[in-house]
Every structure is written in C-alpha cells, then in structure tokens.
Chain A
Amino acid sequence: MNYARKVDARAKLDGSCKFLDDYSYPGMIHGYICYARFHHGIIRKIIFPSDFNLSEFVIVDYKDVPGSNIVPEPEKDQPFLAEKEILHWGQIILGIAHPDRELLKKFISKIQVEYSNLPALIDMHECLDDEQNIFGKEITIDHRLGLTIDPSWIRTRGIYYTPHQEQAYMETQGMIAIYDPDASSMFIRGTMQCPYFVKAAVEAIMGKTVAETVVETSEGIGGAFGGKEDFPNIIAGIAALLSYKSKKPVKIVLDRSDDIIITTKRHPSRVEIETFTNPAQKTIEKMTIDYRLDAGAYQTLSPVVLARGVLHSFGAYQVKDVFVRGRLLRSNTPPNGAFRGFGAPQAVFAIESHIDKIAAQLDLDPYDFKKINLLHSGSQMPTTQKIIDDHISDCLERVIANSDYQRKKDEFAIYNQQNRDKKGIGLAVCFHGGGYTGNGEKVLRSKVRLRIEKDARIRIFVVNTDMGQGAYTTLAQMVAESLDHPLELTSMELPNTSRAPDSGPTVASRTIYIVGNLLRELALDIKKSLAGSSLSTYVKTNPEMFPRDYFREFSPDPSVTFDEESFRGTGYRDYSWAAAVCEIKFHASTYHIEIRKFWNVLDIGRPVNIGIACGQVQGGNVQAFGYALTEFFQKKKFGRMHGFTDYTVPLSYDIPEIFLEFIHTDSPLAKGLGEIPMDYPAAAVRNAFHNATGIFIDEIPLTPERIFNQLRNQK
C-alpha cells in the first residue's frame, strides 16, 4: 500500500475543513498586536488615540505578564512583549482586544509610539560582511590534515549570498485562547507545528496564575514550512494574556502584511568557500568554508539552524582536508527562524555553485567533476561520519539519464551560437540529514500513543501536526500497514497536549522518519502479541482487553554518537540523497530566466505514500524556484511590505515541467523528505544560467536587475 488518498482532502476542497479563523466561541472577542514600526530605539511613550473610548479595549503590555516575559523556546532571549528597547520593526509592544475587529484595527493604527532612535542594521550585506556583528557561539568542524598546498593545485574562491525568504503560508498566523477562571485553565487552539512549544510558552508567560494549559491545533493548518515552528509561541502567549485579562475567549489572526513584517523568515547567508584542486587527479584536496547567517534581532532558533547549515556546507563530496567555521551575525530585522531546509538551502546553493566554478576552471563538465569527487560507500564526511552506500552516485547517474543531459548540452551549445536568447542546463546534488541534528533526538525522546478501541478502531495520538504535508494520512498508513489493518479503521487524532504524549515538534523532516517509524515499531510489537490472528479477530475474541492504550518512547541507537563541541561523529543517522537537472532559457531582451524543465531523482528510502511524496517534491521545488528567481526583501521596504504585491511567489504560469523519480524504494526505512526538495533547485538554476551564458552569478535571486548589472559590470 504505498498510495492512499489523503484523508482530509475532501473537507479541504468543499470548504468544510475548519482553519483557525473559522472557529468561534461564545463571547469571543478579537485580539491583535501593536508593534514598533521602527527598526531600533528606546520606547519613550505610548499615546493612545483620544477619539476612542479606552475603557472598551483590553490592553496588555509587559507589565501585565504574571509569569516570565521571555519566550522559553528555543533560545531564551526574546521577550513576548517589548519592555524598553526595540530591536526590530515588527517587535510587539502591546496586545489589544475588542469585540469589533474593524474598530480594533482602526484603534491600533492610530496608536503612536514615541521613541528615541538608535542606529539600525537592516541590510543583509552590511550585516553579513561585518564580522563585528557576531552573535552567540561559533561552530567549527576541523578536519585539517596540515596538507601543504602543492603549487600545481588550482585555487578556487567564491563568496555566495542568499536572501531572506518569506514562508508565505497561505493561512496567516493565528491563535485562540480561552481562559477559564473557575478551573484555572487555559485552552489554546492554533495554527502551529509544535503544540508542546506553545504549551511551554503559555505556561511561561502565565506563570502560576494558570494551573493547566491545554494546546490543540485547528483542524486545518494552512501551510507552515517552518514559519509556524517558533513564532506561534509569541502570539499564543499574548492571546493567553488577553484572555486572562478579559476573561473572554480571544482570537488573534494576523493580516497578511503584518504577518510578513513581523514573523520569522529564512536566514540570509554569506558563504565563502576556498578550495584547492589537484588538476591531474581532478580531486578536491582542501576546502575552507566560512558559513555565516544573519540571525536577525534575537537568536531564537538560529543556533540550531547554524548547526544544520555547517553540517550540510561541505556538500556530498569527499575532500581530504576540510575546515568549516559557522557564525551568526546580528541585525535589526525580525529574528530569522525555521524554513524548510533549515540552513541547508543556503549551504547547498554555495557548495553546488562552487563545484561548478571549479569544474569550469578545470575545463570539465560539472557532471564529470562531480562523479570523481562524490561521497561513496566507505568514504568519510569531515565530521568523520562514514558513508554506507553509493546512493548519491545512483541519483546522479539516473538524473543524467532521465534528462538526456549530454545530448541537451550539445544541442544548447549549438543553439546558443545562433541565437540571442540562450539555453542552459545545470546540475546540483545534495544530501539532507533526517531528524534533529546530532544528539537532538536522544534528548527529545519522542513518545507516541496508540489506542485500540473495542470495535478494533485504532487511534493515533501524537502532536505532529498536519500542515499540508500529509501526516494525518501517512502516519495512519504506517500503523495500518504494520498491523495489516484497514486504513479506514485507523486514524490520527487532532493533536492535543492533554491526550497525546510529546512526540516532538513537526520539523526537521522527522514526522515520518522518527515519529512514523516509532509508531511502526509499536504497531509491529502489537502485531506480535496477537498470536497470529488479525487485530479485528483478536479484539473480538478478547473483548475484555479493550479499549487499550499502547505507548512507546524513542530509544536512541547507542552506537550513534555526536560531539557537540567538535562537531565530530554522526551528524544525522540517516541521509536522504538527491540529484537534479534544470533546463532554462534566458531571454536576452528582458533579462528574464525561464525555468523550462526540472528533473529530480531522490533516495528517501521507502515512500509511504507516493502521491503525497510527489507533491512534496513539486511543492519544495517551486518554493525553491521562487528563492532562485524572484523572492527577496527590498532593503528600503523592510517593515513596509504589503503582501504578494511586493513579495512575488511563483504563480501558475511560472511552473516548468517537473519530473521526478524515487530510487532505492525497496528499503524498509522511510527517510526524511519534506525539506530536501527545497535544498538544491536554486543551485541548479544558477548553474544552468552559467551554462547558458558563461556567467557566474553568486547571489540569488537571479532577478533581471541583478543579471543586467552583472552583465554591465563584466563589459
């Protein structure tokens, strides 16, 4: 069974699926936030508009916080509500509630914040180029062998930049908080990825005033991509505070422009790579990487993004002598956070662009050069982790064959001699580590619960949310399959912290890979206990045993170790692998790149649901096309964006033909998939542009303006 229709699809099509803004409770009022609207400064005074009746509004600031004003997850450095200093334009100062949503917004738009201005750093280049802005701990991977550089070796150097990227989930952030004074309880419903993070945040801000906090997601979660990993903590905290103060249910749903202005984004990066290549052997002998991320105003998730970034920065290559240094830098932009790929897309863009550059210097086809240097079974990453298969080479060979790479390349060379418009073909390969980095899963120790009812229905209790990636379906499939039970009798419950144990956050391509496999092990254990009969028969013949709950906790493999100081050991227990070919056409009159075709070959182990898996690849690819070509924040507009008018995501007519193939699908293990399709396309597009024009551009997005300037500079 590796195909099943998504269990929630029809309700999402006919409009009956409830997203957060579709919930309403008796007596519910609307909440919203008031944020700074300046980049850096000290708040002096807040002036409320005089033409409103202030007593109608429920207003909370940091002084109303009964517990701690610091968001507990992930890095403890960000306040829920600003106290004195403002570090970024979208920093929230007040929570405000009123029964009338329109009146509330009018009121908030007229609030004036007086402040004294401080110098602000909002330009990503200024931030990333200045080592003075260093923020938090640096990471190094030191696998230097002290090689002396042979004079014949070819030196290649490049500095690669990537911009902010907005998650642009179609459903904006939203939370409902319901405080019950009699029970001293707080119920939170929201659109989120990590219910237990939200629970911890609400417990922190409410302190001892609330005895019990329960968090449940909305039925539908309208996209997340990492953007609903840590930001929901803040609005959940503020909604809880407003509900506590007003004693009414409070709903906060952000407008698109505010969502874009204040929420987390993908980290801008600057990655500098220097390599030395042996021209006779065509092998990379030595590589030095300086990987930097613009963390934004607070660290929050950045240290973990940095860790994943450096562990993907050296690429899928075997290099003898490697030194990687990873650093975070501070700026006055919203704290950057999780976004599909989590530091890897930046790393892969840099290394895959760089490999193309080396190949060009050696006058080799990137395919031939990659083939020589790829990781293979028995080779070692700079972390000393041993590679156990040749799946990356298999991906590369398949994608070369599927795309007819060689023939196209020759054909385009001829076309380009005869035409002003240019055609190009580009290549990229990469890996993506599944689950939390290093010892993360060991620390998390995810727990899952299954319940078998009297009528042999199986209910799955986990807190991994279905934000569109299909968890409701795939997790149920994994359990049903393992128990040979009908899928119709197996279902995942709405994630709720009072019913489901902490199965960990819905991040890091871990839902199927960690939580699904844990459920599978549990289901297989149950199956063993059935003494050969089917579950339905067993339940019928032993009715006194049911309903019954089963639990399982993740037990780490003791042979898997990782040293957090030296970054040596097993960065990730299992890697997914991918190779891609991109075909573009460069329109010489408009300086516009058209992506025409895109081929993916991936090893994700066993795809649980082939239809869902294809959708993940296509969706990830297209987000990456936007990253490669159009998506960025104009400096002067930071804090003044509207929405999709000035942040342009791919539309229906931008979409190329996307081909994909999964290989090594007979593996028993289902590995991570959610993120990898986002990692490699930007580099493949950039390399195709190089193939088309002979020009290297080391920064995305490849907008017509950027291409125009680069061409002008070269002339």
Chain B
Amino acid sequence: MKINFLINGNKQVLDVDPMRRLLDIIREDLQLPGTKESCGEGECGACTILLNGEPVTSCLLNAVHADGKEIQTVEYIAQQPLGKLLIDCYDETNAVQCGFCFPGFLIASYHYLKNDGEPSLEKIRYALSGNICRCTGYTKIFESVLLACQRLQAGKV
C-alpha cells in the first residue's frame, strides 16, 4: 500500500505493508534511529513521536495510521527553539543518565511546553506519566522541565 505523510517537514511516499509498525518505518526505512524501542507494547514511551502534534507511541501504530498525517521525531524536535531550550535544561541539571528514555521524554516535555508550559510540578508529572525512566528516579527530569517552563515564562527564549 502507498502511504503519504509529512515527516519532520519532508514529504514522504512509501510503498509498504500497511500493517508494518510505524516505529520500524521510522527507524529502519527512514533511518531515523533517535526514536527508541524499549517495550514494544505501548507502556514505556521510548518510541514517542508527535503525530499531528500529539504524542503517541509509535510501536503501537501501523503504517496506515500515518497516511495523510504529519509526524515529528526527536531529530526534528531537537532543532526547534523549545526543543533546544529543553535540551539545555536537561543538560544543565545533569538529568540524563543512560539516555535511552530521553528522546521520548524530550517529545513528551516538548508537547507540554508547547501546549501548556505552566511551571507546575503536578501538571508536569501528569504530562510525563506515559514515559518510563529506570535510571534517574525522575526527580531531575521534573526539575529540568520546570526550569524550561520558568525560562519560557520569563521570556528568556
């Protein structure tokens, strides 16, 4: 089946099995390995992408779900002003440990920053509740996102 979609700003037409996992299309067919697979069953958020602006787990989606849609992956988000702000904050607090979960956290926190951005710990916890991190204990992740929200509010971006 032919599918058409916009990925990271570029038009793509692919002829694939409609049931091929979107995650595999992104990682293998399109060679964008920043999106990770950890559980493959929608529980951990390592494979999070933005589909029409909403965070979704790409391991649970198939090629058909992408048809006619717009996809953004970590490679793209990392270059956006809000993505860069988040990267700076995660970096400054030494929040990153093994890093395997972080592309997913970057997407989820980017979505939060873009659509809400209130420096509220409770809201941030909720926004990140679909992502598992086994290394950091989350504390520095919250700290980093709070910091990014505060900087955004203070207009320092």
A residues at B contact (CB < 8 Å): 3, 5-6, 8-19, 21-22, 167-172, 220-225, 255-256, 467-470, 609, 611-612, 614-615, 618-623, 642-645, 649-653, 655, 658
Whether the Cβ atoms of B93 and A611 lie closer than 8 Å is yes
The verdict on A615 contacting B94 (CB below 8 Å), with A13-B106, A255-B40, A653-B125 known, is yes
Residues of B close to A172: CB separation below 8 A: 38
A611 to B137, Cβ gap below 8 A?
no
Q: Tell me, in angstroms, the Cα distance from A652 to B103 when the chains sit together.
A: 16
Contact partners of A469 in chain B: CB under 8 A: 97
Is there contact, CB below 8 Å, between B133 and A170? yes
The 7 closest A-B pairs by CB, nearest first: A15-B34, A12-B99, A468-B98, A222-B100, A611-B94, A622-B137, A468-B97
Contacts of A644 in B (CB 8 A): 39, 41, 43-44, 132
Q: Is B98 a contact partner of A15 (Cβ separation < 8 A)? A: no
State the Cβ distance, B144 to closest chain A Cβ, in Å.
Answer: 10
CA distance A562 to B144 in the complex (A): 46
The answer for the CA separation of A220 and B90 in the assembled complex, in Å, is 17
Residue of B nearest to A4 (CB): B94
A658 and B40: CB pair below 8 A?
A: no
* Complex interface: chain B residues within 8 A of A609 (CB): 94
Question: What is the bound-complex CA distance between A470 and B94, given in angstroms?
Answer: 10
Query: Which residues of A have CB within 8 Å of B40?
Result: 255-256, 643
Given contacts A615-B135, A655-B139, 15 further A-B contacts (CB under 8 A): A13-B103, A19-B36, A169-B98, A169-B100, A170-B46, A222-B36, A256-B40, A467-B98, A623-B134, A643-B43, A644-B44, A645-B43, A652-B131, A655-B125, A658-B137
Question: Do the beta carbons of A649 and B136 come within 8 Å of each other?
Answer: no
Chain A minimum-CB-distance residue to B106: A13
16 pairs, CB–CB < 8 Å, chain A vs chain B = A6-B96, A11-B99, A169-B98, A170-B135, A171-B100, A220-B98, A224-B98, A470-B94, A611-B94, A618-B136, A618-B138, A619-B97, A620-B137, A652-B129, A655-B125, A658-B137
Check if B125 sits within 8 Å of A612, measured CB to CB: no
Instruction: Quote the shortest CB–CB distance from A56 to chain B (angstroms).
Output: 19
Chain A residues near B44 (CB-CB < 8 A): 170, 644
Give the chain A neighbours of B125 by CB distance below 8 A. 652-653, 655
Query: With a CB–CB cut-off of 8 A, which chain A residues contact B97?
Result: 223, 468-470, 615, 619
Instruction: List residues of chain B with CB under 8 Å of any chain A CB.
Output: 27, 32-41, 43-44, 46, 73-75, 78, 86-87, 90-103, 106, 124-126, 128-129, 131-142
Name the residue in B36, B139, B142 with the highest tally of chain A Cβ atoms < 10 Å from its Cβ.
B139
Q: A12-B96, A170-B98 are in contact. Are A619 and B135 (CB under 8 A)?
A: yes
Residue of A nearest to B92 (CB): A5
User: Distance in Å from the Cβ of B32 to the closest Cβ of chain A?
Assistant: 8
Alpha-carbon distance A615/B97, docked complex (angstroms):
8
Count the A-B residue pairs with Cβ separation under 8 angstroms: how many?
176
B98 in contact with A14 (CB, 8 Å): no
Q: Are A618 and B33 in contact (CB under 8 A)?
A: no
Contact A655 B102 (CB under 8 A): no
Are B90 and A13 interface neighbours, CB within 8 A? Answer: yes
Partner of A220, one of B37, B100, B132: B100
Docked pose: A564 CA to B99 CA in angstroms: 39
> Given A9-B91, A15-B103, A644-B39, A171–B98 Cβ distance below 8 Å?
yes
Query: What chain A residues lie within 8 Å of B103 (beta carbons)?
Result: 13, 15
| Bound Cα distance from A652 to B46, whole angstroms | 14
Verify A655–B137 contact, CB threshold 8 A.
yes
Q: How far is the CB of A673 from chain B (nearest CB, A)?
A: 13
CA distance A9 to B106 in the complex (A): 12
B73 touches A15 (CB 8 A): yes
Instruction: State in angstroms the CA–CA spacing of A14 and B34 once bound together.
Output: 7
Measured between C-beta atoms, what is the minimum distance from A20 to chain B in Å? 10
Smallest Cβ-Cβ distance to A23: which chain B residue:
B33
CB distance from B26 to the nearest CB of A (A): 11
In Å, the complex CA distance between A172 and B98 comes to 12
- Point out the residue from A13, A22, A467, A470 that lies within 8 Å of B91, measured CB to CB: A13
Q: Which residues of A contact B36 (CB under 8 A)?
A: 19, 170-171, 222
| A8 touches which of B32, B78, B99 (Cβ 8 Å) | B99
- Chain B residues, CB < 8 A from A620: 137
Residues of B with C-beta under 8 A to A621: 137
Once bound together, how far apart are the Cα atoms of A645 and B41, in whole Å? 8
A223 and B139 contacting across the interface, CB-CB below 8 Å:
no
Residues of A within 8 A of B27 (CB): 21
Residues of B within 8 A of A22 (CB): 33
Chain B residue numbers with a CB within 8 Å of A5 are 91-92, 94
Which residues of chain A have C-beta atoms less than 8 A from B94's C-beta? 3, 5-6, 9, 470, 609, 611-612, 614-615
Q: How far is the CA of A642 from the CA of B43 in the complex (A)?
A: 11
Q: Are A643 and B91 in contact (CB under 8 A)?
A: no
Task: Name the residue in A18, A169, A644, A652 with the highest tally of chain B Cβ atoms < 10 Å from its Cβ.
Answer: A652
Determine the distance from Cα of A622 to Cα of B43 in the docked complex, in whole angstroms.
Answer: 18
- Which partner residue on chain B sits nearest A468 by CB separation? B98
Q: How far is the CA of A14 from the CA of B73 in the complex (A)?
A: 10
Q: A15-B75, A615-B94 are in contact. Are A170 and B41 (CB under 8 A)?
A: no
Expressed in whole angstroms, the Cα–Cα distance for A15 and B41 within the complex equals 21
Q: Which of A21, A170, A468, A618 has the most CB of B within 10 A?
A: A170
Which residues on the A side are within 8 Å of B78 (C-beta)? Answer: 13-15
Distance A614 CA – B94 CA, assembled complex (angstroms): 9
Give the chain B neighbours of A614 by CB distance below 8 A: 94, 140
Cβ–Cβ contact B133 & A15, under 8 A? no
Say whether A16 contacts B34, CB under 8 Å.
Answer: yes
Question: Which residues of B have CB within 8 Å of A170?
Answer: 36, 38, 44, 46, 98, 100-101, 132-135
Bound state CA distance, A10 and B43, in angstroms?
Answer: 25
Contact assessment for A468 and B99 in the assembled complex, using a CB-CB cutoff below 8 Å: yes
Distance between A283 CB and nearest chain B CB, rounded to angstroms: 37
Give, as a whole number of angstroms, the nearest-CB distance from B87 to chain A. Answer: 5
A649 to B34, CA, bound (A): 24
